[in-house]
Structure 1
Amino acid sequence: MFVNQNINAMKPLPDGLNYILAKLNIEDKGKCLFIGDRQELDGICAERAGIPFLLIDNDNANDNFYKSLSNKLA
């Protein structure tokens, strides 16, 4: 978990993601994957940060989350 009280921005602003990438010394954003359940927040945030995004179906996330994720990544 990353916390920084100086980041005064919420999704869809990419400030938080950019902070995490910098802390982890990640230079190749193409090797990252932002997984979220809301295109209008998570998807736009990932796009603004230059990170690939995978939208999951939150309705089925509890029962079949890992199976669904595995199928989408395959």
Structure 2
Amino acid sequence: MVGHTNTYPKLHNAAWPGIVGKGAPDSEPIIALDTLLKLTANARADGQKFDGIDLFITAPHFPIDADAGEVRRMS
């Protein structure tokens, strides 16, 4: 295992690759948000895990016309 001494910047995974370029009939399917979260939580590189995920707040993971309640639930 490689020792990591830096604590900043925190290591975040990005959610946009699960959507961009996907979902068309001749492409890969969109990766569900729950799947992206599970993959990020279980990922390790040299023993280091992600500190968080940068959400891509757009359809289909999140409705563009969400009301305040939906925004609170997501956060």
**TM-score, length-scaled by structure 1:** 0.28
- The answer to which structure has the higher helix fraction is 1
**TM-score, length-scaled by structure 2:** 0.28
Which of the two has higher C-alpha Rg? 2
Q: Which has the higher contact order (CA 8 A, sep 6+)?
A: 2
